[in-house]
Structure 1
Amino acid sequence: MKTAFDSLKKNQPSPSLPAFVASRVEQYYRERVTDTWGGGHIMRGRIPGADALHLSSNDYLAIARHPDIIRSMGRTLRSDGNGLLMSGIFLHGDCPQLKFENRLSTFMRAEAGVLCQSGYTANIGLIQSIASARTPVYVDMMAHMSLWEGIRSAGAIPIPFRHNDTAHLEQQIVRYGQGVVLVDSIYSTNGSVCPLVAFADVCETHECVFVVDESHSLGTHGPRGAGLVVELGLESRVAFRTASLAKAFVGRAGFITCPAAFQEYFKFESNPAIFSSTLLPHEISGLDAALSVIEGAGRRRTRLASNAAWLGERLRELGYNLNAGESQIIALEAGTEQRTIVLRDALESRGIFGSVFCAPATARNRALIRLSIHAALTDAQIEKIVSVCRDIRGEVELDRWPSTRRLGDRPSSRKHSHEQSTADSALAV
């Protein structure tokens, strides 16, 4: 029987992989592509049409095409080209990257900061620089993969705790001792928000280093978009904040806030900082322009929050379990990858394109479609999403999703709208 792996083989000459590599490649095509996805691919559904609703981008404020950003990048690209291609450890003096580091750290109300190649390398480099094989690193079970990879890179001891569970974290610290605590302010998989104040209290009590990844709250939350840590007044209680600038900042970079003395230490201690080239000049100017846009984007942030809250409320009324999501990230958790493909096809056939999340981005059999809400969505577009999600409930067998079953019995005191009662009746059929 011809497999998906066989169909990819070309007539071109290629190196022969040894068995220990070839077997892993073949296992992927056999177990996932052939057995689980039926020869298709969970990430590759329909090609979006011109009128498709794209809910897969992290451009939450809808500024990726902002003329100020494009103009700034174009001007720098024409004047500086790709600049000097070298490691950031050579930068000093009056250069744009160091200026932007200072500006962004001031914006985030931090003493200093370090610009990295990506949020992924920021997390890996930071943990590598603060943890060792003797350091317990406490990590939320839903924390971003880059945080887990940072622990592995540091050779540190990973000690997971239940998602957003401060009591379980404290139990772990009492058992294993002082260390580093890693959380996301907003979790990228399901949009849940971390109770940062409660976690800061635990870290303070046990003298742990508190690290918060603000990738999905920087730009969208807090005063002028300075993030949830600033919104909650926790700047002095969070030792390090990290962020991917490939979200609201619509660029390709990462950032770490830190004490002033740590800034140089990191640049000469972190492997990603030492052994990677700096960002290109036009990328720096684009990020700098994006910061100016974000500072003045109060109306966009208000619209984003309104869009997300309204859509989330409507989907819950239709019977969808949004897993405590309280942000611009809305997760429709179908469960198995097969069910998620059915959900993907149902949405895409009606012009709605989200992001498929499956293992290893989620736990096994907790695959989902993530809808990333943005500020440019109109009322009519939100109504379309609601209408589609209402219409497909039977087609995707919403009542059989494990996430739906986890909703359990609803409190009798809850008042249902006519639409809610209709939805519940439909799910009971």
Structure 2
Amino acid sequence: MELSLSGTKMASLSGLRLIMDDIATTTGSDTGTEWLNLGIGNPAAIPEVMETWQRMTSEALVACFGDVSCSYGPSRGLPVLVDAIAGYFNRRYGWSVGPRNIVVGPGSQMICFIAAALFTGAGATRDTKLVLPITPDYTGYQGLSLTPGGIRGVEPLLRLEGDRSFRYLLDLPALESLTDVGLMLFSSPSNPAGRCASPEEIQRLVSVARAHDVPLVVDNAYGAPFPGIGTPSMAPVWDERVINVFSVSKAGLPGERLGFAVADERYIDPIVSFLSNSALHAPQLVQSALAHALRSDVLDSLVASVIGPFYAERRKFVESLLSGSLPKDLSWHLHAAEGGMFCWVWVDEEWFDDLRLYELLKRRGVFVVPGRHFFTDVEDSPGLGRHPRQCFRISITPDPDVIAAGIEVIASALDDMRAGSTAP
């Protein structure tokens, strides 16, 4: 058997997928170890959120199971949901969108994959790449291109803010100078750093997209309007160049794989056709439940009263633990996050290495996510130097006692790494 070039690429796990596979295999084995997993990407199991989705799904099950689960449907999405999405965004943000501006897919990542397949790769006049305007960004984006070498990330500029905080900044001149852009894609708030793009930054990116004559995909998986894990919760921006992608995963339904895009119909129409030719359509029972949640404002209420406050309080808790526990005589910095579900730590010491920390913590029963996999080119990073190897990600979604115990182990491990000890 011989795989094609694109088949070889897609059949290989990325670096972070190998790490996550290792975490799942290790924590699932019967070793008697009480694992402290701070690397998980699942949203927190918030009882009110689970109860609300269970109720809405049960209502959909009773009302329309035969129609939506026992029949095929339109590739664009159930009309009841497409209409609900249009009405919701027109009502909330003053947009003027209709069904032809909307497509529902089996997860927002699949919609991003489709966009990458449609707008990047070998073309009639030139070959183009999927460009991430600022790294680090969601590592799943690095698996979106069918073309080997089809992803390019633009290194950020680093700015220190006080003793323990730092921020990534867009390098717009570097982005503007590229000649092979087919599509630009980024998350806001970002995974892993929790960085929110300001309205001014998005307008600058729109200008760059217009200059390159390409679309700009904004992945709002952690942002407004839901789950709204961000301060301030910035409204999505409508522009003829922007493909806004949304998900219900971080609003409590990651296992149902449902997302949707809202954009100019010249971008939506080919995505609908791609879905028709591949997956046919997204799961329909959960589409019906989401339509009800949008029409009744149940989801908005859940975000405002439960989801948003939960993550805001949890972030304060974790950042306080890091500040009080990590060695004070080390040069470590926390990215200034406006949202998202993670804390992004940079240990600016020559002896520090993210994979060494990962292995040491694993031997001590703790998991974090090494940072290098969120950058597209760790081996050749002239602007950042060793920085991509000096970061790690901590999830803020585990139980507080798990987070507290895990951070104590991290602090001890950093002391031992500095002293040259890697014993369990």
Same fold (TM over 0.5): yes
Counterpart-to-counterpart distance in 2, 1:335 and 1:171: 27
1:98-131 Cα distance to aligned partner (Å, 9 max, x none): 3344355447745332111112211021233344
Counterpart-to-counterpart distance in 2, 1:237 and 1:147: 23
Mapped contact 2:193–2:342 kept (Cα < 8 A): yes
Aligned to 2:43: 59
Is the partner of 2:210 in helix, strand or coil? coil
Aligned to 2:160: none
Counterpart-to-counterpart distance in 1, 2:192 and 2:285: 31
Counterpart-to-counterpart distance in 2, 1:232 and 1:243: 12
Aligned to 1:372: 395
Instruction: Choose 331-340 or 288-297, whichever is displaced more.
Output: 331-340
Aligned to 1:45: 26
Aligned to 2:55: 71
Query: Structure 1 pair 52/340, CA: closer, same or farther in 2 (3 Å)?
Result: closer
Q: Which runs of 5+ in 2 are unaligned?
A: 158-167, 347-351, 380-387
Aligned to 2:272: 267
Aligned to 2:288: 285
Counterpart-to-counterpart distance in 1, 2:293 and 2:391: 31
Instruction: Choose 118-127 or 188-197, whichever is displaced more.
Output: 188-197
1:3-27 Cα distance to aligned partner (Å, 9 max, x none): xxxxxxxxxxxxxx7899xxx9xxx
How far has the Cα of 1:162 moved from its partner? 0.7
Aligned to 1:305: 312
Mapped contact 1:190–1:322 kept (Cα < 8 A): no
Q: TM-score, normalised by structure 2?
A: 0.65
Query: Structure 1 pair 107/214, CA: closer, same or farther in 2 (3 Å)?
Result: farther
How far has the Cα of 1:136 moved from its partner? 5.7
Give the total of aligned pairs. 356
Counterpart-to-counterpart distance in 1, 2:42 and 2:419: 26
Aligned to 2:325: 318
Counterpart-to-counterpart distance in 2, 1:172 and 1:359: 21
1:240 matches 2:243: yes
Aligned to 1:417: none
How far has the Cα of 1:197 moved from its partner? 2.5
Aligned to 1:160: 153
Aligned to 2:179: 176
1:226-278 Cα distance to aligned partner (Å, 9 max, x none): 9789725733486111234322242411221202454334312xx24532132
Counterpart-to-counterpart distance in 1, 2:118 and 2:207: 21
Match of 1:141 among 112, 123, 135: 135
Aligned to 2:69: 83
Query: Structure 1 pair 64/306, CA: closer, same or farther in 2 (3 Å)?
Result: closer
Counterpart-to-counterpart distance in 2, 1:241 and 1:176: 24
- The one-letter code sitting in structure 2 at the alignment partner of 1:83 is S
Q: Which has the larger radius of gyration?
A: 1
Q: CA RMSD in A?
A: 4.7
Is the partner of 1:231 in helix, strand or coil? coil
Counterpart-to-counterpart distance in 1, 2:413 and 2:358: 12
Mapped contact 2:396–2:403 kept (Cα < 8 A): no
Is the partner of 1:341 in helix, strand or coil? helix
Mapped contact 1:124–1:151 kept (Cα < 8 A): yes
How far has the Cα of 1:173 moved from its partner? 1.7
Map of 1:157-236 to 2, 5 A cutoff?
158-163=151-156, 168-176=171-179, 180-195=183-198, 197-204=200-207, 207-208=210-211, 209-219=215-225, 225=228, 231=234, 234-236=237-239
Query: Structure 1 pair 201/120, CA: closer, same or farther in 2 (3 Å)?
Result: same
Aligned to 1:127: 116
1:255 matches 2:244: no
How far has the Cα of 1:289 moved from its partner? 5.0
Counterpart-to-counterpart distance in 2, 1:130 and 1:263: 12
Is the partner of 1:393 in helix, strand or coil? helix
1:1-53 Cα distance to aligned partner (Å, 9 max, x none): xxxxxxxxxxxxxxxx7899xxx9xxx99xx9xxx99xx9444334599x988
Query: Structure 1 pair 228/254, CA: closer, same or farther in 2 (3 Å)?
Result: farther
Question: Percent identical across equivalent pairs?
Answer: 12
Counterpart-to-counterpart distance in 2, 1:44 and 1:338: 19
- The one-letter code sitting in structure 2 at the alignment partner of 1:253 is L
Is the partner of 2:153 in helix, strand or coil? strand
How far has the Cα of 1:170 moved from its partner? 2.1
1:156-212 Cα distance to aligned partner (Å, 9 max, x none): 964431136666332342352876432211222343444553252253267244321
Counterpart-to-counterpart distance in 2, 1:360 and 1:401: 26
